[in-house]
Amino acid sequence: MLGTDLMACCRKKNLNVYGYDLPEFDITDAPSLKKIVSASSCIVNCAAYTNVDRAEQEEPLAAQINGHSVGVLARLAGGADIPVVHISTDFVFDGMQDRPYLETDLPNPINAYGRSKLEGEKQLAAAGCRYCILRVEWTYGRAGVNFVKKILEAAQTRPVLKVVDDQIGSPTAVKEIAAVIGQILERKEFPEGIFHLAAAGYTSRYEMARFIGRIKGIHTPIEPCKTADFPSPAKRPLNSRFNCSKIETLLGKKMKSWQESLTEFLEQL
């Protein structure tokens, strides 16, 4: 999902970029990684195992893709002194914090997907390469599966939509994330460390669904419920709020509000 928008963004900036994806490229294949690293001046890793519920049954596979392979990539990049921009997630946290999460807060994932992504962060840091970790959340875009698409599709087939109102976060367009990565790639000095990146403001999944309904003129009733009402294989953090002051200081500007970005996205569909 992010890779599609990132390639478009970089090409508009006239950056010399190449994109690699399945089935031609597999991040778990070390020889392929070595070949790509040797031909690059910077790596942006958007590859990930992202099926949160299935990861509970396929944790070794998720750990291989999101953890071990990131370590291999990082060691190769470190040996060649090539910086790496790596995409991580709010799922490295347990969601129990009563305020927005800072980059310095201690991770504590509560599901297999979160554990695999945290392992990727750890291996990246341990490899000794120059890295920039961007933790993102509640992403949506034209490509891939996401919450916005699921709501729009469900509204066409269900008489009533029940959406959880106790998960709080920031709906974030991958187009905006891609724009930030583009700015990072254009910088003379590579920004190292961990950065939280999300749209400005916070909302619940329920209020987000209602917002989508208003913009798209959906008449299907949308009712609130609790996460506990719909048990799933993987636990979800209830608080996914990020403090994004660190990335905003780096960029020298505030992030767009989630309402502005989501409205733009919906009006273009």
Spatial distance between the Cα atoms of 76 and 80, rounded to a whole number of angstroms: 6
Task: List phi, psi (to 5°) of 67.
Answer: -115, -75
Distance between CA 195 and CA 180 in Å, rounded? 11
Can you tell me the distance from the alpha carbon of 67 to that of 57, in angstroms, rounded to the nearest whole number? 16
pLDDT in the model for residue 60: 97
Q: Which of 113, 131, 202, 206 is catalytic?
A: 113
User: Does 113 qualify as catalytic in the annotation?
Assistant: yes
Q: What is the CATH number assigned to the segment(s) 2-268?
A: 3.40.50.720
pLDDT (tens place) for every residue of the chain, 269 residues total? 899 999 999 999 999 899 998 888 899 999 999 999 999 999 999 999 999 999 999 999 999 999 999 999 999 999 999 999 999 999 999 999 999 999 999 999 999 999 999 999 999 999 999 999 999 999 999 988 899 999 999 999 999 999 999 999 999 999 999 999 999 999 989 999 999 999 999 999 999 999 999 999 999 999 999 999 999 999 999 999 999 999 999 999 999 999 999 999 999 98
Q: State both tokens at 255.
A: 């992030």
pLDDT of residue 220: 96
What are the Cα distances from residue 126, in Å, to 33, 75, 109, 117, 261?
18, 9, 19, 14, 35
User: Average pLDDT of the chain?
Assistant: 95
Q: So what's the pLDDT on residue 118?
A: 98
Query: pTM (2 decimals)?
Result: 0.96
pLDDT at 218: 93
